[in-house]
Structure formats: C-alpha cells, structure tokens
C-alpha cells in the first residue's frame, strides 16, 4: 500500500481558488538536521496533503532547532517557524520533549504559578457510564446558565471531552468549531474533544460534581479579581474531570493517557469556564499509527467552545485545534491567562439577568396557597365593586387590583378599552397582558414575574406557565349589594324595600343554616331625637369566621367614626390595617369606614354631618341561599321578610304595625351581643310609620314634596326630622346605591364557543358562537382579530363562523358578544394550525396553548421539514454514518431506514463502508516486500535492514554501495551486501580501527609526499595520492570532477581542492499567464476566507496561513519532531541577503568517492528504512515564484551529494479582471494552457 509517487499524486497540491498574487514570497530553512535521501511514499503524501490544521505553540524545550522563514523581501515581512531537530515522530503520539543536555542552554524556569494548571480535587461519586453516553446534569431553574444571550438548564457530559447544553449525543469525530454545518447548532464547551475509547480501562473515566459553596466562593474571588467583575457572585457551578483517557484504538494503548478538567461557574447573569491541563496531562492526539486519519486530518482534537447560533455564531478554537499541535498548545505558556496549561473564557457577561432567567427563577418560587377574589365580569362592575381599586392603564386595557390580601396574594383584573368589546374582561395567556394573581409588597403589586415571563424575548411557553401558576381566572358575578340608611330604611338581598323604626340592637344578617363559614352582622338604632318617633343607625358591627368582632360607631359628638375590634377601641388613623392573620382588612377615616372579610364581603359605613350612619353590605355570593335577618333571605324570591322563627310575611300585604312587630323579633339576645356598650331602651318609645307621614308645617311639606317627589324614604325622613335637607340626603344616597346595584346586577353576555379550533390547510371549519344575557337583553355578535381570507361570520340569533383555510399564516380570532345595553364579553379560542403534507401526521396534543400555534408534524420515515415536505438527507442526519473518507450516498425516502448507503471502504480497509477495519497487508505475502513490512492504519510500509535502501518500486530493498559515496575508508572501500569494508593498497596494512592504513615501511618525517601517503621501497620514498587527486609525474594534482559529466550534478558543479560540490537554482519560476488544471486534480478549500472574499490576492500573510495550517506535513518533510513556533519578523538587510543567497546557491559540500586500488574491509552500521549517509547539514528552501498568476511552494532538501526538490504544495491561481463603466465583474475562469513546461520537473520528482 505504499506505491511509488505518480505525477497524478503530485498534482494533489493544486488549489482551485483563483486569486491574484501580489507579493513575491521566499521561504527557507536554516541549517538543521539533514534528512535522509530516501523518503517513503506515505511521508511524501503527508508532505503533499494540505490540511486545515493550525500551528503548534512553542515548547519549553527549543534547543537545536530548524527555522522556516516565510516572507516577502519586497514587503519586508517574514514569518519564522521553529522546529526542534530531534528524531522523526511517525505517529500522532505526543512525546514529552527531551530535557536539554549539559552542552545546551538550560530551559527557562516558568514564572507562572505552577498550581493554576493542576487539577482541583475531585470526587468519583458521579461517573459517566461506559459507552457513547452523555448523561445530563440539571442546572437550577432559579439560576440557569447564560451562554451568549441564551439560557440553558441542562448540561450533557460526554466522555470524549465535551460538555454540551443542547445535545445528549456522543459526537465521535472532532471538528473545529465554525467549520462544519453538522455541528453549527451545537452549544458546547470542549476542553479536549478527541477520539476517546468509549470503553475505558480501570483507572480511567469521566467524573462530574456540582461545586460546593466553598468552591463557589473561591471562584467568585478569582473572577472578581481577574475579570474585574465585582458584581459576580457564583451561585452554581459544575466541575468535570476527564482522567487517564485512552484513545479509541485496537489494541488499547494504556501507556498514553490524557487528563484534563474544567469548571463552569455562573450567577445566572455571567458565566465563566476554566480549562486545566496538568503537566504531562495530554499524551496523545490520535490513536497510534492511524496515518489514515492523520493524512485526512480527521479526528484531531479540538479545544474551545461554540454558542450554536447558526445565523451569527460565536465560537472559539484554541490555537491548533484540529492539528497534532493542539497538545502543546493547550498545555503551553501561551494561554489567555499567561499561566501554563490554564485557560479562562467568558461565556456570558452582563449587568442584569436575562428575562428568561428571571422568569424561571420567579416560577421556581413556591406559589402561595390561597384563592384571591375572582374578578368581576365587566369594567362597569369593577368600577363600583368596593373590593377593587384602580391599578393602571396600559396596552389598551384598564386594570384594577383587589383590596383584600389573601395569603399575600391579590388579584389583578384587566378590561378592554377598545371597541368593539369595550369593558370586556380579559384572560391570559391568550391575552398575554391580561390580569393575574400577584403578590403585593411594599405598597404595590409585584408585576416583575409577568414582565419577565411574558416579555417579547421570553419563550411563549413560559408566559403560559406563568398564567398557569398565577391565573387570570374566570370572572365571577359581583357581590350582592344591600344598604340600610336614613331613618332606618332597608333594601333586602332580593331587592325589596321597607322602613323599620326600632330602638336597640338588631340582627341584620346571619347564616340561616349551620353549613359554611359563620357570619353575623348587627345594627344599633336610637331615636333621632326625644319623642321624634323615628330612629337612625348609631353603630354597625359583625364578624365572619375567625375575623373577630368589628364595630363602627358614630361617636357621641357625631363628628367622627370610632372603630372597635373585639370590644376595644382602635386608633389606626386614616389608613388600612389587617387583622386576624390577614382575614380582615379595616380602613377608617373620620367620616367613613369599611371592613372587608376573607370571603369578599364588605361592611361599609358613612357618617353624615347630622350624625346619621348610612351603611351597606356587599355580600359574597358564597352565601347565596343561606341568609336570614332584617336584610332577608337571599334566594331570588320575594320572601325576604320573615320573623325569627322563619315565618314569611309578604311586604306587599303586611301593615306597618305588623312589619314593626315582625322586625322586632330580630332583636339581639343580650347573651349574643356583638356591639360594645348596652343598647338603648325602647320602654317609652312610640314609632311613627310611613303610612302616616305628618309634616310640622306646610312650608316643610312643600319643600319636601319639591325635593323628594314620590320618594317615600325622602319624604318620611324630612317629616320625622323636620329637615328637608336630611330627606334630600336620604334620596341621593338611595339613588346612588340603586345605580351601583343596577350596575352590579347587569351581567355581560355568557358566551359558548369552542375553546380551541384545530384546522388544517385546505380544510373547512364551521361552528356557532352563542351567548345568553342573564338580564334578558338582545345580543349582537362581532369577530375581530388578524383575520385571513376565507372567513365569514354571520350575525343573527347566534354567530355563524365559517373558515376555508387557505394558508398557515398566523391567525387570531376574538369573538365578541354585546348586549343591547352595551355590556360585552369576549372570547379568544386557541387556533391550532396544521400544515403537514401527506408525509406526516398532525400532533394535536403538542400545541402550546397560546392564541395561535403551528402544530408540529410527525414525519413518516425518510421525510423531514416543518411540514414533512422534504426527503430527508440521511447523510446530513447521520454525519458519522460512514467511515471517515467514505462517501455517503443519500437514498430516496421510499427506501426506508437508514436512508443512506456508504461507498466502498478506502484502500487498505475492509468492511461495508459504514465500518471499515484496517487490512494488515503484512500478513499476506509480507506485503510483497522483499525484506521487512510494517503495517499502518490504512496502509503499510516496506522496510529494509541496515545497509539497504528501498527501491523505486517501494517494495524491493537494494544494497547501498557505500563506496560510491562518502565513507570513512582511508584508501580502498569494498562494497559487500548490506555494508562495506575498508582495505589498503600494497605496502600498507589496515589499522586497528579498520579505517586507516599504515605503511609497512614508513617514510621519515617530513617526507616528499606532503599530505599524501608515503612508503619506503628500496630506500626510495614512494607517494600514493589521496582520494580526489591523481598522480602527475612524481606529484599529486587535484582532479576536476566537474569536467567529467558535470560531476554527476543535475545543475551546477563547483570544483574544490580534493573534492567538488553540486549547486542548484533558487526554486522554480513559472511565467505563463493562462493556466489549465488537468482533470482529476484535487480541490483544496483551505484558503483563508479573507483571501478569497474580495481582495483576490495572495499576499505573504496568506502563505503564512497556508504554511501554518500544514505544520504536520512540513514537520514530516524536514524530519523534525514538531513545529514549535511561528512568528512574523521584519528582516534586516543581512537576513534578506542570507535568504536570497541560500535560496540561490543551495550548496552542500559533498565529497565524491573515487575508486582506489588498495582494498580494506570494515563492517559499519547503517540506517534501516531510509538509508543514506549524512556527511553534512544541508539547508532546505521553500521558494515561490514572482509571477502574479502562479505560485509554487517547494521544499528543497540537501541530501548527500545531490539536491532534491520535493513539491509539497502546489498552488495554481488564475485571475482575470474586466472593468466596465458601470461596475467591475469577474469573468468565468478561462483555462487554456497546461503546465506542460513543468512536466519534466514532475517526472524527475516522480523518479526520486
């Protein structure tokens, strides 16, 4: 699986984006460790495959390094990358750097506090189960976790290094945030999202815990100090620890483990997350030897976060996410806290809590028990209902609040101010501005819950939940108003009238039966003046349930009202006060007072200037059918007047004297007295009756007749008090009470209509809306709202509604019934709209409850969309359904589940495309390798023993003729299979080091041979030339190797004394205009967005990005351990000259071997897989062309006595522009010429 590179495979470097190169950029590598001359095809492919990886940050051990500098001489901009020159790392395992030797400068001691990166203590009580599971942790509703403008209430903890807030699914393959549509809506924090084995060995796992109060305090102090957020006080936090995680590989490698930790803390307003990577905590990035994923750049770890906002995303990838460099990046010093291995991110920061969070916190509170008064059914009723006070006008509504507080709650009642429907009672949640139950604190209604939950930025379901917990409630008929006033006149519960002039204490009302809450009210009457024959009310009192006894009394001067509670006079000033555990509300000023009881019953008195008390009782409808006393039985019949024993006396037929006698039966038994002080005596009292009204003077009678007219109570009071003014007050008061009662008794129409309307597009919906008037008035029907076409509503004895549903556009329907006196009721049904196609069914039970809701569709298998209108793209729905690199083919919906199929497994794998297992090619004929075979994931590599190199076929090992290149034999080199040996010329013997030769008869020193070999023969000094020289007479002269076949150099040849060197040009320059890309060339999409958006230029900064994004390939290409740093520098003149010189000469001193005649043997040890000699350190150059339309990045490596150009990135760009007077447009690409001129170079490269 390691074939020789073809020209087509080299074309993998071509890029499709067409830009205009505006700068000439040179890249060079300063001398470092020399790479070997035989490069495997897999390494070559790695160098050639551009990726979206990012540059590693600098390690603490930056000794003996290779620097790649990228820049433009003309623009004076350079970028340098530093790479340690230790041994090649073939897999993606991160090996901790080797400590420096004594010859190397010491590693700087970090100044950062070492404890910041260390794991905080953690518990293993809560462990993530094995397998691809992501258990959830609840975030308190009272807090919530704000994350870039949204709130979340669950955290899903996955064992592969990710915490999500909206997905509970294990996502196997990491992808840098912002780079994939598959995770565009993912809301997550990922300290180290990686290919973790779902099943972890003992001692490995993922653990979570909620932070303690002590820990929250610690992190609060840190945030206040470091982020300068003094308002932050953490109220909830989560700690997750991933300990000793192993990679997903077979067999499991338990030697390489990853450990890291995060804390997430919030106060419901701001959120912060802390990443911790302990020393040596990150030991792997990809499963060992998974060169397949490494080459595809799939599965490399990602660290950062994303907010899941599809339209305007905010995300953060820690530098080199998606590359092998991520390990050193997260663990290094270059963090956003300036502390090694410790990162801090702000996920939300604000001055106040989001409305949703405040709403959820409000709804999480315990709802006080109790049932506040229900609202009256019309605006007219609430205005005269003494139980309610004006609150506010807003949103075309007027609202009132109940005066009485039940268990800390009041009712807010709202009514429409628009026509039609003026004064109609409004209900929530269909009307989100309707009234509701609310707390009353600090003298005002608590409207915060409603303002948070029903705001435009809060989800609708929270407003619905608010009205569920704090409901508007159905309206209820107002209390029954009865009044007793003047020279005592009574209006009964069933609206009958009479006058009773009694002296003493009398029972006004009480329960007729023992059932229900007990109540009783008494009145005290006394003669208005001695001998007047008429009485007035002097005190009123009573109780309900456990309220205690209440009494309002006109004081002796008749100037104010005194208030007694349980027999004791109270002084509360002109204010309200609660008694009896809030079951009684008292309001008193000098001339009026009221007592409101828990049922909503109100006792109210007003003191006239003449000392007469006028009183009323608004009796709760809870007591209907269960009353007796002077105010009668309440049952809707004319049977109000009875005696104490229950005998009925019709008021229409009873005489005034009889009425007086019957009323006297309701005199209070002294043992049951409620009112303080003894009642007045009636021993000498003789009452006057209304049928015998006598005026003291004709003038008074005339005045009374003019004022009172036919008002009997007015005439009577004027006569008995000798005051027409008193009679006038009696008349006005009676008229006012009568109007109030008339308004209270006028009920709006009672409507009957569907509470919800389920409709589908294309259907017809019809129904009737009916209403009845409790007062018998005629009714008119009206329909208002956001009405679509196709609706008709007829007005007759009922409202006939017909709707031909033509679209799914939002609709609102409000039906209004108005009686002939102007009282209205309104009703807004829920409209549930379904627009599912035939591929789905309507889920009617899922409607939310607001006035209009689109019903979700349950799609049949294979369909998707809000209406089930689209054939689901099963490949998008199952992004990990196929093995990495295997094409996913979407199938028609009719094919059933799973709805897709996978193409064949890649070469080197077997399986069904969904699951692909590596083929161990070495198990079959040893991979056709002549010697050794090493299996890799998705590929394999033939290897050779020492002394051999891998041939061009990638399979056969061929002997290295060490004698054809530089060797350490002093005279004669003899090649042998897998090695070589040294020998000596005649008259010389091989030394103990098996390298040097010593003459058997040595010449004296000095001798005539100078630097060359010398031996004595017959007393004569005989000279033998060293390698690189030839005998000319008695002397040795230099051999000019460049004169013979150019020294074997492919380009320049430079002769030196005793040797020579080959030179090469400074890269490859292309000067053609139009470019045609051959069919089959791959497309590279990694050009930075900024480079291809509008500028259509490829400046040096873009090349920096490309090079930075391919550090893994560059690392492999130059045989370095890893790329450590990249930085922009401004070159000096010397730097520029050096760069130019190095890119031009590329000279490497390379001794050329010469045949000798003196054999010597010496076995040596040679490299195994990439055999070559490394006599010197050669420079490597990445060069670009000055052409504005084309660019080649090549890597030139000095190898022994030759120079090899490895094309690892080939960028072909074309851009043509045309201008018009109106605007500037880009013409279509016009590729007309092949890179034919470079065919020869590519062929040579293929041969190498």
Question: What is the rounded distance in angstroms from the CA atom of residue 197 to the CA atom of residue 1009?
Answer: 72
| pLDDT tens per residue, range 1079-1096 | 332 323 333 333 333 333
Question: What is the rounded distance in angstroms from the CA atom of residue 634 to the CA atom of residue 481?
Answer: 11
Query: Distance between alpha carbon 916 and the CA centroid of its chain, in Å?
Result: 35
Range of weakest confidence among 424-433, 845-854, 869-878, 929-938: 845-854
pLDDT at 1103: 44
Give the pLDDT mean for 928-940: 87
The single-letter DSSP state of residue 127 is: B
Question: Which carries the bigger pLDDT value, residue 1150 or residue 797?
Answer: 797
- Strand-pair category, 756-760 with 830-834: parallel
Question: Which carries the bigger pLDDT value, residue 124 or residue 298?
Answer: 124
Decide if pLDDT at 575 tops 50. Answer: yes
Residues of the chain with pLDDT > 90: what percent?
50
- Strand-pair category, 497-499 with 764-772: unpaired
Decide if pLDDT at 210 tops 90. Answer: yes
User: At 312, is the pLDDT very low, low, confident or very high (cuts 50, 70, 90)?
Assistant: very high
- Tokens 């020789």 identify what position? 4
Q: In sequence order, what E strands does 531-659 have?
A: 535-544, 550-554, 561-565, 568-570, 575-579, 584-588, 592-597, 602-607, 613-619
Decide if pLDDT at 1071 tops 80. Answer: no
Q: In sequence order, what E strands does 912-1034 have?
A: 916-918, 932-936, 939-943, 948-950, 957-959, 972-976, 979-983, 988-990, 997-999, 1013-1017, 1020-1024, 1029-1032
User: At 849, is the pLDDT very low, low, confident or very high (cuts 50, 70, 90)?
Assistant: low
CB within 8 Å of 884: residues ≥ 6 apart: 173, 292, 293, 296, 298, 299
Decide if pLDDT at 478 tops 80. Answer: yes
Beta bridge partners of 210: 238
Q: Is 410 helix (H, G, I), strand (E, B) or coil?
A: strand
Question: What is the rounded distance in angstroms from the CA atom of residue 116 to the CA atom of residue 276?
Answer: 7
At residue 1247, what are phi and psi to the nearest 5 degrees?
Answer: -60, -40
Contact between 457 and 602 (Cβ < 8 Å): no
* Helices 355-364 and 460-469, packing angle to 10 deg: 30
**Which tokens go with 757?**
């309307």
- Up-side HSE of residue 505: CA atoms within 13 Å toward CB? 21
Question: Which carries the bigger pLDDT value, residue 751 or residue 3?
Answer: 751
pLDDT at 993: 92
| pLDDT tens per residue, range 1181-1192 | 333 333 333 333
User: At 725, is the pLDDT very low, low, confident or very high (cuts 50, 70, 90)?
Assistant: very high
Q: Is 744 helix (H, G, I), strand (E, B) or coil?
A: helix
CB within 8 Å of 1105: residues ≥ 6 apart: 1088, 1091
Question: What is the rounded distance in angstroms from the CA atom of residue 420 to the CA atom of residue 1166?
Answer: 101
Question: What is the rounded distance in angstroms from the CA atom of residue 1059 to the CA atom of residue 1078?
Answer: 44
pLDDT at 876: 81
Contact between 561 and 541 (Cβ < 8 Å): no
- Strand-pair category, 791-795 with 799-804: antiparallel
pLDDT at 1066: 61
Question: Whole-number mean pLDDT of the chain?
Answer: 78
* Helices 724-745 and 698-708, packing angle to 10 deg: 20
Give the pLDDT mean for 727-745: 95
pLDDT at 1078: 29
| pLDDT tens per residue, range 801-825 | 999 999 999 999 999 999 999 999 9
Decide if pLDDT at 915 tops 60. Answer: yes
Give the pLDDT mean for 949-968: 85
Beta bridge partners of 241: 207, 261
Decide if pLDDT at 42 tops 50. Answer: no
Closest CA to 302 of 196, 404, 395, 226: 196
pLDDT at 950: 87
| pLDDT tens per residue, range 852-898 | 889 999 998 888 888 998 888 888 878 888 988 899 999 988 888 88
* Helices 712-721 and 698-708, packing angle to 10 deg: 150
| pLDDT tens per residue, range 526-550 | 998 888 889 999 999 999 999 999 9
Question: What is the rounded distance in angstroms from the CA atom of residue 551 to the CA atom of residue 556?
Answer: 15
Range of weakest confidence among 316-325, 406-415, 585-594, 1209-1218: 1209-1218
Decide if pLDDT at 727 tops 80. Answer: yes
- Tokens 């303080």 identify what position? 676
Decide if pLDDT at 560 tops 60. Answer: yes
Decide if pLDDT at 23 tops 70. Answer: no
Beta bridge partners of 1248: none
DSSP string, 251-296: S--TTS-EEEEEEEEE-SS-EEEEEE--TT---BSS-TT-HHHHHH
- Strand-pair category, 236-245 with 1029-1032: unpaired
pLDDT at 1095: 31
pTM value? 0.65
Question: What is the rounded distance in angstroms from the CA atom of residue 1066 to the CA atom of residue 1181?
Answer: 8
Q: In sequence order, what E strands does 1039-1141 have?
A: 1052-1056, 1059-1063, 1125-1129
Contact between 411 and 391 (Cβ < 8 Å): no
| pLDDT tens per residue, range 350-408 | 888 899 999 998 998 888 777 788 999 999 999 999 999 999 999 999 999 998 887 77
Query: Distance between alpha carbon 1012 and the CA centroid of its chain, in Å?
Result: 81
Question: What is the rounded distance in angstroms from the CA atom of residue 151 to the CA atom of residue 149?
Answer: 7
pLDDT at 1174: 31
Question: Which carries the bigger pLDDT value, residue 579 or residue 1213?
Answer: 579
Angle at 153 between CA 151 and CA 159, to 5 degrees: 115
Decide if pLDDT at 506 tops 80. Answer: yes
pLDDT at 289: 60
| pLDDT tens per residue, range 93-103 | 343 333 333 33
| pLDDT tens per residue, range 109-133 | 434 444 689 999 999 999 999 999 9
Burial of 557 (0-12, 13-18, 19+ CB in 10 A): exposed
User: At 336, is the pLDDT very low, low, confident or very high (cuts 50, 70, 90)?
Assistant: very high
Residues of the chain with pLDDT > 70: what percent?
75
Decide if pLDDT at 671 tops 60. Answer: yes
Give the pLDDT mean for 958-968: 82
- Tokens 């004895």 identify what position? 797
Question: Which carries the bigger pLDDT value, residue 1101 or residue 598?
Answer: 598
Question: Which carries the bigger pLDDT value, residue 68 or residue 575?
Answer: 575
| pLDDT tens per residue, range 752-761 | 999 899 999 9
- Strand-pair category, 568-570 with 575-579: unpaired
- Overall residue count recorded for the chain in this entry: 1248
pLDDT at 848: 63
Decide if pLDDT at 737 tops 80. Answer: yes
pLDDT at 158: 96
Give the pLDDT mean for 133-146: 94
Question: What is the rounded distance in angstroms from the CA atom of residue 748 to the CA atom of residue 796?
Answer: 18
pLDDT at 138: 96
| pLDDT tens per residue, range 628-656 | 999 999 999 988 899 999 999 998 889 99
């Amino acid at each position: 699986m390691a074939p020789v590179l073809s020209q087509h495979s080299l074309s993998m470097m071509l890029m499709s984006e067409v830009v205009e190169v505006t700068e000439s950029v040179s890249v060079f590598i300063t001398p470092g460790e020399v790479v070997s001359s035989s490069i495997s095809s897999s390494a070559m492919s790695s160098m050639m495959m551009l990726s979206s990886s990012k540059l590693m940050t600098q390690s603490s051990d930056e000794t003996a390094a290779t620097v790649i500098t990228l820049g433009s001489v003309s623009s004076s901009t350079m970028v340098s990358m530093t790479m340690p020159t230790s041994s090649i790392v073939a897999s993606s395992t991160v090996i901790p750097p080797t400590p420096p030797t004594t010859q190397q400068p010491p590693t700087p001691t970090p100044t950062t506090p070492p404890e910041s990166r260390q794991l905080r203590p953690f518990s293993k009580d809560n462990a993530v189960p094995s397998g691809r599971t992501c258990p959830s942790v609840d975030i308190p509703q009272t807090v919530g976790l704000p994350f870039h403008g949204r709130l979340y209430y669950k955290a899903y903890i996955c064992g592969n290094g990710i915490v999500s807030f909206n997905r509970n699914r294990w996502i196997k393959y990491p992808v840098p945030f912002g780079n994939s549509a598959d995770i565009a809506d993912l809301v997550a924090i990922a300290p180290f999202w990686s290919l973790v084995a779902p099943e972890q060995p003992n001692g490995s796992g993922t653990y979570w815990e909620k932070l303690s109060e002590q820990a929250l305090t610690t992190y609060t102090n840190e945030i206040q100090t470091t982020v300068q957020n003094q308002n932050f006080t953490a109220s909830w936090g989560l700690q997750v620890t991933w300990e000793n995680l192993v990679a997903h590989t077979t067999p499991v490698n338990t030697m390489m483990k990853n450990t890291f930790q995060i804390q997430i803390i919030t106060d419901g307003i701001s959120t912060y997350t802390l990443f911790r990577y302990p020393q040596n905590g990150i030991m792997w990035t990809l499963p060992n030897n998974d060169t397949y994923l490494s080459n595809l750049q799939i599965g490399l770890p990602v660290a950062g976060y994303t907010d899941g906002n599809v339209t305007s995303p905010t995300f953060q990838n820690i530098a080199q996410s998606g590359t092998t460099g991520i390990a050193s990046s997260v663990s290094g010093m270059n963090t956003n806290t300036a502390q090694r291995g410790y990162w801090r991110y702000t996920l939300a920061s604000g001055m106040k809590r989001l409305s949703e969070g405040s709403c959820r916190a409000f709804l999480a509170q315990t709802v006080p028990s109790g049932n506040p008064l229900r609202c009256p059914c019309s605006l007219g009723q609430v205005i005269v209902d003494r139980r309610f006070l004006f609150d506010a006008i807003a949103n075309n509504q007027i609202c009132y609040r109940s005066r009485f507080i039940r268990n800390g709650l009041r009712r807010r009642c709202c009514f429409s101010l628009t026509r039609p429907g003026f004064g109609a009672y409004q209900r929530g949640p269909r009307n989100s501005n309707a009234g509701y139950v609310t707390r009353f604190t600090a003298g005002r209604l608590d409207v915060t819950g409603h303002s948070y939950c029903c705001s435009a930025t809060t989800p609708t379901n929270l407003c619905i939940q608010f009205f569920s917990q704090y409901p508007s409630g159905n309206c209820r008929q107002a209390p029954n108003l009865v009044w007793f006033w003047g020279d005592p006149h009574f209006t009964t519960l069933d609206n009958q009238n009479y006058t009773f002039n009694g002296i003493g204490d009398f029972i006004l009302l009480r329960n007729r039966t023992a059932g229900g809450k007990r109540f009783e009210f008494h009145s005290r009457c006394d003669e208005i003046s001695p001998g007047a024959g008429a009485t007035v009310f002097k005190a009123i009192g009573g109780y309900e349930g456990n309220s205690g006894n209440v009494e309002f009394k006109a004081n002796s001067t008749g100037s104010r009202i005194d208030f007694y509670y349980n027999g004791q006079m109270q002084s509360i000033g002109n204010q309200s006060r609660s008694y009896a555990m809030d079951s009684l509300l008292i309001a008193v000023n000098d001339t009026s007072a009221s007592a409101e009881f828990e049922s909503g019953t109100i006792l109210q008195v007003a003191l006239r200037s003449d000392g007469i008390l006028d009183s009323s009782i608004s009796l709760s409808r809870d007591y209907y059918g269960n009353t007796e006393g002077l105010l009668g039985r309440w049952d809707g019949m004319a049977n109000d007047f009875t005696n104490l024993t229950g005998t009925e006396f019709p008021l229409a037929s009873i005489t005034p004297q009889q009425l007086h006698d019957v009323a006297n039966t309701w005199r209070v038994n002294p043992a049951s007295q409620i009112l303080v002080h003894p009642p007045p005596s009636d021993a000498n009292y003789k009452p006057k009756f209304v049928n015998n009204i006598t005026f003291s003077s004709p003038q008074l009678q005339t005045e009374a007749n003019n004022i009172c007219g036919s008002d009997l109570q007015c005439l009577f009071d004027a006569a008995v008090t000798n005051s027409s003014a008193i009679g006038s007050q009696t008349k006005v008061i009676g008229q006012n009470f009568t109007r109030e009662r008339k308004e209270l008794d006028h009920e709006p129409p009672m409507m009957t209509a569907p509470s919800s309307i389920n409709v589908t597009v294309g259907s017809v919906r019809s129904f009737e809306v009916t209403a009845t008037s409790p007062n018998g008035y005629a009714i008119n029907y009206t329909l208002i709202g956001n009405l679509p076409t196709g609706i008709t509503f007829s007005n007759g004895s009922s409202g006939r509604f017909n709707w031909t549903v033509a679209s799914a556009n939002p609709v609102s329907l409000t039906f209004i019934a108005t009686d002939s006196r102007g009282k209205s009721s309104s009703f807004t049904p829920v409209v549930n709209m379904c627009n599912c196609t035939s591929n789905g069914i309507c889920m009617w039970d899922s409607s939310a409850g607001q006035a209009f809701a689109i019903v979700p569709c349950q799609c049949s298998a294979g369909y998707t969309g809000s209406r089930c209108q689209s054939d689901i793209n099963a490949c998008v729905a199952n992004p990990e359904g196929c093995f990495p690199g295997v094409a996913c083919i979407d199938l028609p919906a009719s094919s059933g589940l799973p709805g897709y199929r996978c193409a064949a497994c890649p070469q080197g794998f077997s399986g069904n495309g969904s699951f692909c297992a590596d083929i161990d090619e070495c198990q079959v004929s040893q991979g056709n390798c002549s010697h050794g075979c090493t299996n890799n994931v998705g590929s394999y590599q033939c290897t050779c023993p020492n002394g051999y190199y891998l041939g061009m076929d990638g399979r056969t090992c061929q002997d290295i003729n060490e004698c054809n290149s530089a060797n350490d034999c002093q005279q004669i080199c003899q090649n042998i299979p897998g090695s070589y040996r040294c020998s000596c010329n005649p008259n010389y013997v091989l030394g103990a080091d098996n390298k040097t030769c010593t003459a058997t008869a040595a010449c004296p020193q000095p001798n005539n041979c100078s630097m060359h070999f010398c031996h004595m023969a017959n007393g004569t000094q005989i000279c033998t030339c060293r390698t690189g020289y030839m005998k000319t007479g008695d002397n040795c002269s230099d051999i000019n190797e460049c004169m013979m076949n150019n020294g074997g150099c492919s380009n320049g040849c430079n002769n030196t004394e005793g040797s020579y060197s080959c030179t090469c040009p400074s890269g490859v320059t292309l000067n053609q205009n139009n470019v045609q890309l051959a069919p089959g060339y791959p497309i590279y999409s990694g050009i930075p967005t900024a480079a291809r958006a509008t500028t259509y230029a490829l400046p040096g900064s873009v090349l920096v990005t490309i090079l930075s994004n391919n550090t893994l390939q560059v690392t492999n290409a130059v045989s370095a351990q890893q790329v450590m740093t990249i930085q922009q520098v401004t070159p000096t003149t010397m730097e520029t000259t050096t760069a130019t010189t190095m890119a031009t000469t590329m000279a490497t001193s390379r001794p050329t071997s010469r045949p000798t005649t003196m054999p010597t043997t010496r076995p040596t040890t040679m490299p195994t897989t990439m055999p070559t000699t490394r006599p010197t350190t050669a420079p490597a150059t990445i060069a670009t062309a000055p052409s504005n339309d084309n660019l080649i990045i090549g890597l030139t490596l000095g190898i022994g006595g030759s120079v090899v150009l490895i094309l690892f990135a080939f960028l072909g760009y074309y851009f043509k522009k045309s201008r018009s007077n109106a605007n500037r447009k880009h013409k279509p690409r016009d590729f007309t010429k092949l890179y034919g001129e470079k065919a020869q170079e590519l062929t040579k490269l293929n041969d190498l």
